[in-house]
Amino acid sequence: MGEVYFLTLHEAAMGGMEGGGRYLIDNNMRKEIIIGTRGSDLALVQATATEGLLRAAFPDVVFRRKIIKTTGDRRTDVSLANVAKAEGTFDKGVFIKELEEALSDGSIDIAVHSLKDMPTVLETRFAMVATLERAPVRDVLLTKGGVGLEGLGIGARVGTSSVRRAKQIEFLRPDLVLLDLRGNVPTRVRKLAEKDEYDAILLAEAGLVRLGFLPETAPEGEETVIGHPNVFASRLPENEFFPAAGQGAIGLEIRAGDADSLAFAKAINHPETWTKVTAEREFLRLLDGGCHTPVGVYSYLDGAEISLFARVFPDEGGTPRIGEARGTDPIKTALQLFNSLT
């Protein structure tokens, strides 16, 4: 079970203590915390991972779950890029609005998000305070023919709900036909496996791994999707097909000023992931971009140095601006990346 530490509210808020193990909390901290999550299969897996870490770290605290249906879950009748427009929530991530309302009215204490769905600038009432250890960040091309992106025939139909993925496909393979693709991850995989509407679809590797469709490590040779032997997977290298800022990361959002929720969330924060996504999201903020902006950005750490790479697509399509930067401060490195764009 590991060693047991006494954790004051201040220590937890500063990021916990080195060494891991279980924590005892001071008597002033709440003994029950409500975790808010969407109800999709992937969201529930992410909430379970969050709750598992919290319960292991704080065995004397009760963590309860509340499932909340968001605008993005409810509006499947229009493309994801147009959901916010249809709902009149132009500046709001369509998968977070109702979760933030629950934070605001106190019905939940910590909201669990796919970080790539989060706007880069939050209302001052809220704060993104922690991330779990990041899953793989790549995008995956799923096909029924066992071919990668280069092997798709001219006019092949590719399904995606992501503007970023669509712009990169237009850039790399302008001869392909793009179609809108909605639904949760299992639904999208079934649409490819069982219907003829799509020749290929694009999904995040993190979701496929977390839901058990792919192993964490790619096998040698040809790879098929678990449970769908007629669907083949091609994991696209991030330096060729740039992922979204924050892709593969689980973010924890709280009410600003809620010291207890801050303490619990910070205690399970993964520092390396936090450093990388801080840099990626700061770059997106400098671009004045949101979660639907066609921007690919990824990072890696080598010791204390962070390397950042970006591909920024014009809305009208065409050649993207590119940039790269290296440094030890994620905020300053993001600014260097922004200034390096050509």
Residues annotated as part of the active site: 117
CB 323 within 8 A of CB 298: no
Q: Could you identify the residue written with the tokens 């993001």?
A: 334
CB 226 within 8 A of CB 213: yes
Helix (H) or strand (E) holding 328, with range, is none
C-alpha–C-alpha distance, residues 46 and 40, integer Å: 10
What is the bridge-based pairing of β-strands 295-302 and 305-312?
Answer: antiparallel
Residue 111's closest CA among 206, 10, 43? 43
Residue-wise over 184-202: b if at least 16 C-beta within 10 A, else e?
Answer: bbbebbebbbeeeebbbbb
* Angle, vertex CA 209, rays to CA 45 and CA 212, nearest 5: 70
DSSP, collapsed to helix, strand or coil, labels residue 236 as strand
C-alpha–C-alpha distance, residues 276 and 247, integer Å: 11
As a whole number of Å, the end-to-end CA separation of the chain is: 52
**Surface-to-core class of residue 154, CB atoms within 10 Å of its CB (0-12 exposed, 13-18 middle, 19+ buried):** exposed
Cα-based distances in Å from 145 to 100, 193, 199, 278: 42, 11, 8, 38
The alpha carbons of the chain give a radius of gyration, in whole angstroms, of 20
